[in-house]
Amino acid sequence: MASSAKKLMARHSPMPAVAPNSDTQHLPDAEIEPIGIVIPAYGHPRFLGEAIISACTQETERQILVVVVDDGCRFEETVELVTSLMGQFPGVLHYVRHKNTRLPGARNKGVRFLMAMCPEIDSVFFLDADNRLSPYSIEAYRKALGDDERIGWAYPDIAFFGLSWGRGGFDIRETAPDYSVLKHLCGNISEAGSLVRASVFRNDVFYDDTMRSGFEDWDFWLTALGAGYLGVRVKDAGFLYRRRAESMLADSRREEELLLARMKLKHKALFDPKFIMQTVQREAPFFAILEEDSDKVLLTADPCVKGEEITLEEFANRVAACRKSPREHFFPRKIVLFAPGMWQALKKGAPAYMRWVFWMLLRDKTGTKAISVVSSARPAMRRATPGDHAHMIVFDSTAFENQVWTGDLAPLAELEHAELSLPIKAVPEGMTAGLLCWNLGTLLPKDKTYSRHTDRRYAGPHARGLYEKVIDPACSADDEFFPPAPWVRADGEKWFAFVATGDEVAIADLAGRMQAARIKGYRILLVLEREDGVQYEDKPSLALDIADMIVPLILEPSAGMSRYYLGRRVKSVMTGMRQLELETLAIHFDHIEASHTAMSLEAFGASKHRGAKTHLMMPSAYAHDAGAEDFGRVLAYEHAIDQVVTDDPSVLAPVLSAQGIPREKVVAEADFFSALAPASNKVNAPAVMAKPLSWAPTGGYLFVVTYGRSGSTLLQTVLQSIDGYFIRGENENALYSLFEAWKRARSVRQRFDTTRPVPRHGPWYGAEEVDAEAFAARLVDAFVAEVIRPPEDARVVGFKEIRYGDLSEGELEEYLEFIRRFFPQSRFVFNMRNAADVGRSGWWKDTDPGFVEKLVSRSDAVFKRFAARYSAISHLMQYEEYAQAEAGFVSLFDFLGEEMDEAVLKAMMARQLDH
């Protein structure tokens, strides 16, 4: 390299922070933070000038700061070009040179340079040296990014130029018209040419410097996603991507499998089944549930979790959209049409079996099936003789679209039939035809052909292909045989599985152990182990009433296959298919207990592989009654057993130890449950004043969120009437001050560089040791103990507050996220009322009606957005719907999972409130 070029590089590397030249650069209002643009430069000096000029000539009121990061470029023209352009754009264009680290390191260098030069910077755009921006691009990006802090970046549709298929020299690819987490887990839907909110970097989200072979952009977005941020599309961004024959992506394709495995391991939390299923519930629910006498459609991935309710017309529009662009849109895997009253009968009469029923529907590969429901104490689903009526018609997505679109629905008698046995006392009448499907067909567009734009098309991941690429592999033990169980676990929710053989389910000891786990905060799964064709005596069972979820595990008649372990014959009973079935369930539970006679012992290894703790129940009498083969079976699976639980370890432990089972694995039943870790990370305490930090109610927290004179006192009173509920009244929004304190503590790490220790003489000495999350947790504990002050028998704790309406939309959304994050098992009831009625109350008599209308409208909008995002933990209440009749509270009690006493409600509603 020529010496003159070296001198130029030395002169400009590294560049000090330079303030914009006020004589040549118009400075906007100081309240509007600048936007930065990072341009890495290495091997494309012939296009670099176009990129720089397009960045420096943005038509915006915001100050633009552009930094070119010379990534050890070997071309002298690079530094010469940038130097000459710095004269044209003084105070706007900057230059930094460092050793070659490829794109990830260069982009990080540029971001850190901009944030050091301008700590208050608003956002940063990444522009590669061979791409360009249109003059309006930054304004379009920033408008799309908005003020919602949860939106971390704005990404474009990609307009290709250069080597293009478009007849005009451009062709546009839409990777995700609507941002989708599931699609982003399947492939990169956000081009690097995106605008990233500066708070993303302040939360220590940067490119991985070691991702030098490609996929570095995808990895960066997944890191941001893991930090709680989401993307948003910029439809007309004006971002121009130069397509060339060679690219770094070609390198990544050669190492694709290795890179993908590395990313899945790095972002393990994003590919965790619980997160996947929560995301499926929001974005791609498995089921569309229709009722013959209703114009509503429920979309959900879990029949026990509140999903999205839309009108039949809205559902028809989604059917049409999927027909028009099947790659782009998600569509339910199964469409379930219920006879009038059957859906409600299932929810009320057999709620614990609902997940099992819908899992059976997912597992069925029939295109269209009619199902009749019969009342029986032995749950099962079997083939049945075709008939002319049914309680359910189940379609897979392909069959449904074809039949509804053509209107060619086969008569019930021609469909394959099944019989579903459930312990439902009153089964409604069936239907004789799926008339609703024809009604739906009448709502579809008459023109069934679609024109396509020749130069614009969807190019993101195939929406329906995500099941086999992302969802099924993560949530099934073997997706070839078992789809994921329709089971969406809430944050903080833990499950304890109990296996009961045919004769054990009525034993009182089983119910007692289940209740002990429930007291510890666990939800209860009961696996009913049954051999097909074997008749079991029906006995009253408290265990069936305690269980939150029941799954019959139907075992094929055993052929008596045996193997040998340490010279002992070990009879194998469970087939590989049944082990896979239990392992698929084990993805979702945290503990499993089975007796020494249970066949499910053979699946303990698979359950342990999925992270569940395994516990074998064995009475001390077994020490005298068991033979060599009996001990051989336990010994064969000893490696998969975490604990052997017994009534008397002093009797059983020596015998098992002699057989080769470690003594330390044998524990007393009483000691086991006392030592069992609570489902919540927090522990219960006996009395309010003795409540230590880290206390939480077993049923979680409930918040009534509203504004003044919305009728919320009646709602609070109703909630207080539920046994175990302790709902306080207003507290002047004292919790909001704690929220602000947490934000200030967090800003220490966000606003200042605390990645390295601050010296003792530094003004921010100790800043790197601030733990804002622990600080918030302790504040919340103190708030519960000293402000709410719940009694020792409180099952659900919370309060109602009317001062949420005083906050802006952004503040309120942030505040609600804080509550959801730091109160375990939190739920929200949003109370709304007609704005005109609110304004007429004495509370607002001296207030401008327009102010009240805006406050109500603003608050209601946030309530609805939050409820849509977190539908499983949110419920919307409209005062006008419950003020005059107790029936208006039915949906609330369904949401809470509590029994409603109409007589008590009627008495409360007749009482005059004193306020």
> What does the pLDDT average to over 601-607?
90
Task: Give kind and range of the element (H or E) at residue 881.
Answer: helix 879-882
Residue 73 has pLDDT above 70, yes or no: yes
pLDDT confidence tier of residue 576, bands split at 50, 70 and 90: confident
With H, G, I as helix, E, B as strand and everything else as coil, classify residue 330. Answer: coil
Residue 697 has pLDDT above 70, yes or no: yes
**Helix orientation angle between 76-88 and 3-12, rounded to the nearest 10 degrees:** 50
| Distance in angstroms (rounded) separating the CA atoms of residues 858 and 837 | 16
pLDDT at 910 exceeding the cut of 50: yes
- Contact at 8 Å (CB) between 550 and 352? yes
Which pair of structure tokens corresponds to residue 222? 């997944």
Tell me the sheet residues that pair with 55: none
Q: Report DSSP state, residue 554.
A: E
Confidence band (pLDDT; 50, 70, 90) for 761?
A: low
Strand partners, 458: 174
Other beta carbons less than 10 A from residue 510's beta carbon: 22
139-160 core/surface letters (b: 16 or more CB in 10 A; e: else): bbbbebbeeeeebbbbbbbbbb
Q: pTM to 2 decimals?
A: 0.71
Whether the per-residue pLDDT at 123 is higher than 50: the answer is yes
The predicted structure's pLDDT at residue 27: 39
- Cα of first residue to Cα of last residue in the chain, in angstroms, is 83
Cβ 418 vs Cβ 390: under 8 Å: no
Positive or negative torsion for Cα 315, 317, 321, 324: positive
pLDDT at 288 over 90: yes
Residue ranges of alpha helices (H) inside 410-498 are 435-443, 466, 472-475
CB atoms within 10 A of CB 906: 11
687, containing H or E segment: none
Q: Give the mean model confidence (pLDDT) for residues 19-45.
A: 65
pLDDT of residue 388: 84
pLDDT tens for residues 515-558? 888 888 899 999 998 877 666 666 657 788 889 999 999 887 65
Which candidate, 591, 494, 506, 571, places its Cα nearest to that of 544? 506
In the predicted model, what is the mean pLDDT of residues 3-32? 38
Would you call 535 exposed, middle or buried from its count of C-beta atoms within 10 A (0-12, 13-18, 19+)? exposed
CA 783 – CA 58 distance, rounded (Å):
49
Q: Quote the pLDDT of residue 174.
A: 74
Among 195-209, 327-341, 686-700, whose mean pLDDT is lowest? 686-700
- Alpha helices, DSSP H, located in 89-134: 102-117
Bond before 14 cis per omega within 30 degrees = yes
Any idea what DSSP says for residue 470? I
Least confident range from 466-475, 584-593, 684-693: namely 684-693
Q: What is the pLDDT of residues 500-509, one digit of tens each?
A: 987 666 676 8
Residue 9 confidence (pLDDT) above 80: no
For residue range 403-436, list pLDDT tens digits in order: 877 777 778 888 899 999 999 988 998 887 655 5
Q: Return the pLDDT at 477.
A: 92
The confidence score (pLDDT) of residue 435 equals 59
Give 211's pLDDT tier (boundaries 50, 70, 90): confident
Query: Which position has the higher pLDDT, 108 or 461?
Result: 108
Q: How many residues does the chain have?
A: 915
**pLDDT(15) > 60:** no
Give the pLDDT confidence score for residue 564 in this predicted structure. Answer: 62
Residue 25 has pLDDT above 60, yes or no: no
Residues 6+ apart with CB under 8 A from 222: 184, 185, 263, 267, 270
Distance CA 667, CA 646 (A): 6
Residue 542, Cβ density class (10 Å: 0-12 exposed, 13-18 middle, ≥19 buried): middle
Q: Are strands 392-396 and 151-156 parallel, antiparallel or unpaired?
A: unpaired
Q: From CA 198, how far away is CA 207, in angstroms rounded?
A: 14
Query: 287 or 171, which is more confident?
Result: 287
* C-alpha–C-alpha distance, residues 52 and 130, integer Å: 10
Q: What is the pLDDT of residues 801-832, one digit of tens each?
A: 999 888 899 899 999 999 998 898 899 999 99
Instruction: Please say whether the dihedral angle defined by the alpha carbons of residues 688, 690, 693 and 696, taken in this order, is positive or negative.
Output: negative
Q: Are 155 and 191 in contact (CB under 8 A)?
A: yes
Looking at per-residue pLDDT, the higher value among 246 and 291 belongs to 291
In the prediction, which pLDDT does 833 show? 92
Residue 22 above 50 pLDDT?
Answer: no
Cα separation, 620 vs 357, in Å, equals 38
pLDDT of 565 reads 60
pLDDT for 670-683, tens place per residue?
889 888 888 865 44
Q: Residue 483 CB: number of other CB atoms within 10 A?
A: 22
Average pLDDT of the residues in 328-346? 93
Query: Which of 90-99, 627-636, 818-827 is predicted least confidently?
Result: 627-636
Q: What is the signed CA dihedral for 147, 152, 157, 163, rounded to 10 degrees?
A: 140
User: What integer is the mean pLDDT of 585-590?
Assistant: 95
Residue among 193, 137, 132, 191 at smallest CA distance from 161: 132
Cα(106)–Cα(108) distance, integer angstroms? 5
* Three-state DSSP class for residue 94: strand
Give the chain's mean pLDDT: 83
Q: What is the pLDDT of residue 35?
A: 97
Q: Does residue 684 sit in helix, strand or coil?
A: coil
Cα separation, 307 vs 281, whole angstroms: 7
Region 158-172 average pLDDT: 58
Over 80: is that where the pLDDT of 165 sits? no
The CA distance from 780 to 735, in Å, is: 8
**pLDDT for res 717:** 85
Q: Residue 334 has what pLDDT?
A: 95
- pLDDT tops 70 at residue 454: no
User: What pLDDT shows up at residue 32?
Assistant: 85
Confidence of residue 758 (pLDDT cuts 50, 70, 90): low
In 3-state terms, the chain is what percent helix, strand and coil (to 5)? 40, 20, 40
- What 3-state DSSP class applies to 340? coil
List the structure tokens of 61: 């009121």
SS3 51: helix
Unique residue bearing structure tokens 């929220």? 739
Q: Which pLDDT score, from 0 to 100, does residue 18 have?
A: 33
Comparing 638 with 88, which gets the higher pLDDT? 88
**Tokens 């699609």, residue located:** 183
What mean pLDDT is predicted for residues 650-675? Answer: 89
The strand pairing partners of 417, in sequence order, are: 370, 384
CA proximity to 397, closest of 311, 347, 295, 467: 467
Position 185 pLDDT exceeds 70: yes
- Between the ranges 468-477, 754-763, 885-894, where is the mean pLDDT highest? 468-477
Q: What are phi and psi of 307, to 5 degrees?
A: -105, -155
CB 693 within 8 A of CB 807: no
Extended beta strands in 216-325, E state: 230-234, 239-243, 287-291, 296-300, 308-311
For residue 578 the two structure tokens come to: 């049944």
Cβ pair 731, 716 in contact under 8 A: no
pLDDT at 752: 55
Apex 449 CA angle, 444 and 453, nearest 5: 120
Q: How confident is the model at residue 90 (pLDDT cuts 50, 70, 90)?
A: very high
Does residue 579 contact residue 555 with C-beta atoms inside 8 Å?
Answer: no
- pLDDT for res 614: 96
